[in-house]
Structure 1
Amino acid sequence: MVGSTIPRRAFGRFLRSIREQAGATLLTAGLEIDTSKQTILRLEDGLPTKVSTPQLKSLLDMYSVTPAVRAEVLELWEELKQQAKVAKLQGVSTGWWQAYSRQYAPYFNHYLRLEAVADHLTSHQLVFIPGILQTPAYRRSLIENALPNLPEIDVSSRLELAARRQERLADNTFRVDALLSEAVLRHRIGGPAVTREQLQRLQEAGAQDNISIRVVPFNAGTHSGYSVDSFSMLEFPPLASRLVEPPVVYVEGSEGALYLEHAEVIARFRQAVVSMKRVALSENDTHDLVSSIAKEYAP
């Protein structure tokens, strides 16, 4: 099931900590169970592997874990295996976005998996409206500008993918905090009519209880947001086990993307969010500014 992404990643993180405490390398762990270090890395990254239960037990022997830790690892492992079986029977062992895999870069597949199970998205944008809040016309303009020769069938598929992502906004347990530079509102993506429609969509979205949209105005002064690029921070609900899945910061560039997870890095991004919220307009004042700019694009 799609939701198994988070428990699997938490399990992998747990297993990595055990290996590191034992002083074992990826290479030595792989040799212990007659597999590659890449397989061990995939296991610890929470990605599907062909590692068997006997192989996992051999790893635990190598790591010289205590009986209590061994029992905990194997119990979590059995839970993951049961989840995988149920997902396969239900036909949801892969995410719905896999049907659109031709329409996005390989690195974005991981983001879609994380977004599907996150319960809080914080999006800081300097140039564009966050993807999850874009109108079809706004999105189309971005696609056609980046890929002017893309066939219409592929453009339509990308718009369908965006629409499917936006279905999560109807779930009140999924919170969105959007922090937008004022520049985002003033970029005329697709021309006046498209921009006006997009700004009106922002106003509608901001009226939802689970969505907060705040603008950092040009006259806000110095704040920590200047030290970071556009980014998305994904946070996750508690797991049934004692394991905790930490937030992930996603930073996308023209040639690829970064997934940042180290605690000190996350702390810096959290501080940037706090700093930007300190100088951002309130939700009501943001609504008024968006409305005012939208009127500038009236026919």
Structure 2
Amino acid sequence: MATGSTLPRRALGRQLRKLRERAELTQAAAARVAEVSPQSYGRMEDGRPTKVTDLALNALANTYEATDAERQLLLGLSREIREAGTSGSAWWRGYADDAIAKGFDHYLSLEESANWVTSWQTALVPGLLQTRNYRRALTWATFPDRSSDEVERILDVVVRRQGLLDRPGFRFEALLTEAVLGYSVGGPGVMTDQINHLLQRSEQAGVEIRIVPSTEGQPIGLNAGSFVLFSFPPLPTSKLQEPPVAYMEGLSGGLYVERTDEVEKFSNEAARIRHVALSASASRDLMLRYAKE
């Protein structure tokens, strides 16, 4: 499975940070060795897109007194980045800025690289499961001044993302409150179609939808708010395993959580939510009841 350049970039950044801290050097000093700006070097360690040359990596390896194995790992990850960059996997680059919110390209790259996504939603259907009309209603409510063409381009991105659900080996777990089914987004007709779409998707291999009923006495997950967890496969060449990432969306932008101890809190919360959620079969029965109503 192709993982794009996001995972090898993250892995390279983690390796560079480990070696730099072992050598007790600052990022500014490392940037001088690599002959790049401190900002560029910071992006390199953060795993964000920036130019990485083998010449710079060799210079850094020398300064960090890296072993042969450590040097080869850096160069191997650099090669994986280049190979992923030529595969054209970042399909969203073909869409205009008005179709993708600022910074959301990072979310898309994580989603594209993941092999397991867990989405806990307290109010809305997650994007990967939204119908076009449901998303259209949300988009008009969020951006009332956008033109019809701009809105349709946003919807095109949403539909394109949903191709992940048909990718072999990809697993999507949707954990939803019953309130998600009760909100009348776009009106009764739109919601009926949306719930029927959830029912169809819930029968698909690799897709699991479970509902936390409103009768549940323990308000687990409500204080945490909605969040998404990304888990990743090992890198194809180096076999390195990148740790999971958590994401929370806010009105002023998204928050990415990468520290192991903090991501573990989200993983534990997801486990607690699973414990109180209905089974997949009982969740389908509940969704069917809402669709009929």
Verify the 8 A CA contact 1:126 1:183 in the aligned structure 2: yes
Moved more, 200-209 or 99-108: 99-108
1:152 to 1:25, Cα distance in 2 relative to 1, 3 A: same
TM-score (norm 2): 0.93
- Kindly indicate which of the two structures has a greater share of residues assigned to helix: 1
Check if 1:114 corresponds to 2:115: no
For 2:282, the aligned partner's letter is D
Who is 2:276 aligned against? 279
Who is 2:193 aligned against? 197
Verify the 8 A CA contact 1:172 1:209 in the aligned structure 2: no
Correspondence for 2:176 among 169, 176, 180: 180
Structure 2 distance, partners of 1:10, 1:46, is 7
Structure 1 distance, partners of 2:283, 2:291, is 12
For 2:104, the aligned partner's letter is F
Check if 1:235 corresponds to 2:231: yes
Correspondence for 2:93 among 75, 94, 98: 98
Moved more, 17-26 or 194-203: 17-26
Alignment partner of 2:5: what SS?
Answer: helix
1:207 to 1:83, Cα distance in 2 relative to 1, 3 A: closer
Check if 1:131 corresponds to 2:127: yes
Check if 1:141 corresponds to 2:137: yes
For 1:231, the aligned partner's letter is F
Verify the 8 A CA contact 2:122 2:222 in the aligned structure 1: no
Structure 1 distance, partners of 2:289, 2:83, is 54
* 1:139-158 deviation digits (Å, cap 9, x = unpaired): 01001111112111111111
Verify the 8 A CA contact 1:231 1:250 in the aligned structure 2: yes
1:39 to 1:243, Cα distance in 2 relative to 1, 3 A: same
Who is 1:157 aligned against? 153
Verify the 8 A CA contact 2:20 2:26 in the aligned structure 1: yes
Q: CA deviation at 1:2?
A: 6.3
Q: Which runs of 5+ in 1 are unaligned?
A: none
Who is 2:256 aligned against? 259
Verify the 8 A CA contact 2:8 2:80 in the aligned structure 1: no
Q: CA deviation at 1:280?
A: 0.5
Q: CA deviation at 1:190?
A: 0.5
Moved more, 9-18 or 278-287: 9-18
1:119 to 1:2, Cα distance in 2 relative to 1, 3 A: closer
Structure 2 distance, partners of 1:67, 1:162, is 45
Check if 1:30 corresponds to 2:26: no
Who is 2:47 aligned against? 46
* 1:93-147 deviation digits (Å, cap 9, x = unpaired): x611112232121211101111112111100001100011001110010011111
* 1:250-298 deviation digits (Å, cap 9, x = unpaired): 11111111111111111111111111111111111111111111222xx
Verify the 8 A CA contact 1:223 1:276 in the aligned structure 2: no
Q: CA deviation at 1:62?
A: 1.9
Structure 2 distance, partners of 1:193, 1:82, is 46
Alignment partner of 1:106: what SS?
Answer: coil
Q: Which runs of 5+ in 2 are unaligned?
A: none
Alignment partner of 1:227: what SS?
Answer: coil
Verify the 8 A CA contact 1:2 1:95 in the aligned structure 2: no
Structure 2 distance, partners of 1:161, 1:33, is 37
Provide the aligned C-alpha RMSD in A: 1.7
For 2:254, the aligned partner's letter is A
Q: CA deviation at 1:173?
A: 1.1
Verify the 8 A CA contact 2:4 2:84 in the aligned structure 1: no
Verify the 8 A CA contact 1:223 1:275 in the aligned structure 2: no
